[in-house]
Structure formats: structure tokens, C-alpha cells
Chains A and B, each alone.
Chain A
Amino acid sequence: MFLKLAHKSLRFRKNSVLLTIFAMAISLTVLLGVEHIRQQTKHSFASSVSGIDLIIGTRTSQLNLLLYSVFRIGSPTSNISWQSYKNIRQHPDVRWSIPISLGDSHKSYRVVGTTNDYFKYFKFGDTQQLAFAQGQNFQGTFDVVIGHKVAQLLNYKLGDQITLSHGIGSTSFVNHDKNPFVVSGILQPTGTPVDQSLHVSLAGLEAIHATPQSMPGTLTPKSITAMMIGLDSKTKIFRFQRAINTDPNEPLTAILPGVALAELWQSLSMIEGTLTVISSLVFVSAAIGLGAMLMASIKERTQEVQLLRMLGATPIFIFCFIELEALLITAVSILIAVVILSIAILIGQEHLASQYAVQTDWLILSATSVTTLAQVFVVAAVCSIPAAIVAYRRL
């Protein structure tokens, strides 16, 4: 009866109620959207690389090195020499190493020059190894292994021919169209930037850049962009890092991916915090709007409240009645917001993933957003207290 009364009462005043629901739903969409993307970003950041002891590049900031080597964002200032790469690889403490050579692209997806060790040692998430959905690693010079998204979005199959472009724009004036690559493998989805990458061998990369003058057959690169290494003992990481950072032969930087990731997230936390505050304020203003709408309705409903009191309704009942109306409005708004957001993410998913490397799940009701929703209910209830008290005091 209680619920029926509240429900019918809201439908009776549907114009002002619908307007309030609309305002609340919009603000909740913003709130939940920001919250959701924040979580997803944090998650995909944290899981984009793991199981790697050090990332080594030219002398640069720790963030820059992380961004271009792992996230393929931005450009390296300079490369590291092939000699340094060889020296480090042959160091007795180094168990394995992955060279990375960047600079080319295919239809705005980055191309990574590397070796087959990449598929063996690169780890992501909870130290998961890369796995092939189809095909296998490089067998010949012009083999290419493509990420899940690249295959999906460009609709590539094993055996397809691909032409790389010099530089990283989608319209390049220099296309390496004399040397097409053949898709030899397609990786399983990882939810990391690997999905948006094409991997070729260092020799292949060298071959397409070779000028007619250069000697054919000697496809050893002069330099690489960065390298990832694993040491035979974790205890040697810091000593090794210091040794590289102070290498007298070449100015190099070695970073611990975990530390750099944390720093990266830290530097984003200002933006993260600002977004949360703004979306919370938007929601609070909508909740105050709800309170004002209820307050205005109490004035019109003096007789209704009087009648309920005469029928034997206690003041507490009246108070709860108004609060229940507020919570019903909030519940409907949340429902609408969740639907809007799910649809928006479903539509925008591909764009977010390809443009910002943010993997989003359209199922937005995670454990944290349930906490957020609980807070939303509390705020809505608090904002309706003044109206409920006014109703309670009538008579």
C-alpha cells in the first residue's frame, strides 16, 4: 500500500517528476561514466605490462620511455645503438631480452619491430603470456604478427598482404609498398596496446628501410628504440639499473615498469580526482533539484498530507512517504542512466579502444559502482530530508 501510494503519487505529478528524473539521469550518466572509465583505464594501465624487470631506452624521462615502449604513445627522442643492445643482451645477469623498434605504422596502427622472443617473454595482466589465436610467430623476414583488434577491425586473415608506411600517420607519403608483409599469426585479445600493434622482425624492418645502395643480405639494424629485459635474479635489478643509467659508452635509461606505471597513474590522479569531483558536483546539484522539486510539491500537497494524517498516518509515515518518493525517483534515474551509459559504451567502445587504448566493458555495474550507487541513494535521501521534514511538520 505504501509503495503503491508513493508510485501513484509520482505518476500523478508526472511532469515535474519526469523533469527531475531527466536531470538526475543525465548527471548519473556522467557520474557513472567517469567512474567506469576511470576504473577501466586504471585496470588496463596496470595490466598492460608485467613480468618484465627493466625497460631500457635512450636517456629520457621514465614516463616518456614507458609511454612509447609499452603504450606506443609519443615518440622516442633517439635510439639506442645496436652495440649497446648486444652488450646488454650478452651480459651474464640477463636471462632474456626483447628488442623493440618503432617508427612505422600500418593504417595508423603502430608497427613494432622485434624478435620471436617477444612472443615468448612479453607478459601482461597477471603474468600472462601472449598466445596465438591463429598461425605462428615469424618464420621469414616478411612475416607479420598482428594484434587482435588490428585483425578484427581491418578484417585481416592469415596470408593477407600488408604494406607498411613510414611514420605514424594514417596518410603517409612514404609507403614501403615494394616489400609487402604477409600475416603469419594473429594474437589472442589481451586488453593491452598489443591488441593494436603489428609485429615484424627486426630484419624485415631493416629490409624495407634499406636503400638500393646499402648491401643486400646484411639486415642487421644499426639501432633499436628500446629493449625489455628479464634478469636471472630479482635481487640484481637495482644494481643492474644503476649500471645502465651510468653506462659511460652511451646515455641510457633503465626503468622498472611497475614503478613507472605507478608514477604515470599518480600523474593522472589529479585529472582523475578533478573528474570525480566535477561529476559528483553535477550529481549533488541534481539531487538538490530533487529536494527542491519535492519541497515545492509539499506546498501543493498540504491537503493531501492533512488527509493522510486524519486517516491515522503518523508523522513518521509522512516523512518516509516523501523519502520513498525521492528514492523511487533516484532508482528510476539510475536505471535510465545505466541503460544510456551501457548503450553509449557499446557504441563508443571501438573508438575508445582504437583512439585512446582504453578497453571498456559495457557491463558497468561492478563492485565499486555499486558502492557509488549506494552513495547516490544516500545523497538523494539527505537532499530530500528538508522536504520530508516540512511535510512531517504540517499540522
Chain B
Amino acid sequence: MLYYHKVINIKLYRMLIQLNNTQFAYPAAPNKTVINIDTWQIQQGLKHFLHGPSGSGKTTLLNLLTGISAPTGGEVYVLNEPLHKMNRKQRDKFRAHNIGYIFQKFNLIPYLNAIDNIKLAHYFSRSHSKTLDANIDDLLHTLQIPTTDWSRPVGQLSVGQQQRISIARAFINKPNLLIADEPTSSIDEDAKANFLSMLQTLCQECNTSLLFVSHDMSLQNMFDHSHSLPQINRPKGA
């Protein structure tokens, strides 16, 4: 009876991210601990909002969560996988398989067209979907990209369109976690609302957890949870 209860518990609290005593310092400044987080846990299946001023360690934290960097101390669990125990190659593989990522800008290779950009993300995931072309069509239609723009180099498209293609690219591998790093700061107000609603709809459809990073506090009530980075992270050292 007790055992049964425990299993339920684990199911209820499947963690999206779990950090314990996580520390990170750049090799160039080993005494300056940029990331110093005692404990931080967020739940899977929800939409999270993370805010913090620039310089609060956002980019560094995201690099740890995606496995681009390895922590210098402590534990990093993403989707219950211990990233701190993996080597670089395993982390690269984990990222390609599980995480979709949208940058503030430069989300797409400018000299490839929309379709090739999406195919590139699929190529790195090493999963070979037979319905790839159909999936790309669906995504681009859902994101309201005119068919005529599909095969133009994305460098020639508007910023708003590029950001929407980035969503398509991020979703092609049906990631478990989507990280969006200030994705709306380069587009105007109307496009912003449109962008957010498309993002949230796709997260719902693909059952993808969302970690949305922004300094724009007006957006926070569109999310299930809001987290403040300065409250979580206590950097130390000169």
C-alpha cells in the first residue's frame, strides 16, 4: 500500500527541471561562480515563465539546461535525466532529441530556405520520420507562412515570419521541452500576441513543456508559473 502511494507520487511530480546545489564558473574566471542555485524544481507539462534582468545569469543557466555547458558542481536533471553525469556527446544527443530552442534572434540559417532549416533540425535529431515532409507542411500552414515563402532563403523574410518559422523548426522533433529565450523582443506588439498564442497552441498539441524566458513582466499572466531568476540564483565571487 505504501509502495503504491510512492509510485503515484512520482507520477504526480514528474520533474521538468531539478537543480541541486548547482554551480557554474567559466574556465576563464574560476573564482566567479555565475550560477549558484541551492535548489530549484519545476514541474513537467506546464508553461513556465522565467524572468530576470540581464546579467543575472540567464544565458548561462539555459546553457546548463540544454547541456551546452556542464555544471562545475552539483546536479542538473532535465526531464529526469542527469545531465551532470553525461559526457559532451551524450548531452548533444539529449539536446537534439528532447529540447526545442528559440533564440531572441538568429534562429535560422539565413542562406537556407524555411524547409531546409526545419529539415536541418530534424537531421541532427537522427530520428528518421517518414512523414517529415507532411509534418513540415502542416507546421508551416499552422504558423501561417505563405507557401510562396517556403523555398526562399529565410534571410529575405520579415523578422516576424522568421520567428514563426523558428517555432516550426523547434517543434519538428516534437520536443519534450521547449526553451524560448526572449523570442518576442525583436518583434512588434501585434506579432507578439500572435506569436505567443501559436507557441502555446503547439505546446498543448505536442504535449510539450514550455520554459519561456523574458524580462517583459506583462507576459507573465499567460503562463502557469512564474519564476524570478534573482531569487533562485545567488552568484558569488568577484
Which of A's residues lie within 8 Å of B, judged by CB?
1, 4-5, 8-9, 11-12, 303-304, 306-315, 395
Contact = CB atoms under 8 A, between A and B. Distances in A.
A359 B120 CA distance: 52
A11 B155 CA distance: 13
B103 interface: yes
B114 to A, nearest CB: 13
Given A310-B66, A312-B125, A5 B112 contact: yes
B116 A307 contact: no
A307 B88 contact: no
A312 B111 contact: no
Contacts of B116: 4, 8
A144 B213 CA distance: 95
A16 to B, nearest CB: 14
B112 A8 contact: yes
Contacts of B66: 310
Contacts of B89: 314
Contacts of A304: 106, 109-110
Interface in B29-79: 63, 66, 68-69
A259 B124 CA distance: 64
B111 A8 contact: yes
B119 A1 contact: yes
A103 B108 CA distance: 77
Interface stretch (B90-98, B203-211, B215-223): B90-98
Given A5-B109, A8-B112, A307-B109, A312 B92 contact: yes
A314 B95 contact: no
Which of A5, A12, A307 has the largest number of chain B CB atoms within 10 A? A307
B121 A311 contact: yes
A308 B107 CA distance: 10
B123 interface: yes
B223 to A, nearest CB: 22
6 contacts: A1-B119, A8-B111, A304-B109, A310-B66, A312-B125, A395-B68
B101 interface: yes
Interface in B114-145: 116, 119-121, 123-125
Which of A9, A303, A311, A313 has the largest number of chain B CB atoms within 10 A? A311
Interface residues of B, number: 28
A310 B106 CA distance: 12
A309 B92 CA distance: 8
Given A312-B125, A313-B92, 7 more contacts: A8-B111, A11-B111, A307-B106, A308-B109, A310-B66, A395-B68, A395-B69
A306 B106 CA distance: 9
A313 B92 CA distance: 7
A1 B123 contact: yes
B120 A5 contact: yes
A302 B151 CA distance: 25
B106 A303 contact: yes
A307 B181 CA distance: 13
A315 B89 CA distance: 9
Nearest to A2: B123
Nearest to A316: B89
Given A1-B119, A304-B106, A395-B68, A311 B111 contact: no
B115 to A, nearest CB: 12
A8 B111 CA distance: 6
A385 to B, nearest CB: 20
B71 to A, nearest CB: 15
B112 A312 contact: no
A94 B139 CA distance: 94
Closest 3 CB pairs of A and B: A312-B96, A12-B111, A312-B124
A315 B91 CA distance: 12
B3 to A, nearest CB: 38
B234 to A, nearest CB: 25
Contacts of B103: 306-307, 310
B107 A307 contact: yes
B112 A311 contact: no
A78 B125 CA distance: 84
A314 B92 contact: yes
A309 B124 CA distance: 10
A312 B126 CA distance: 10
Given A5-B112, A9-B111, A12-B111, A311 B124 contact: yes
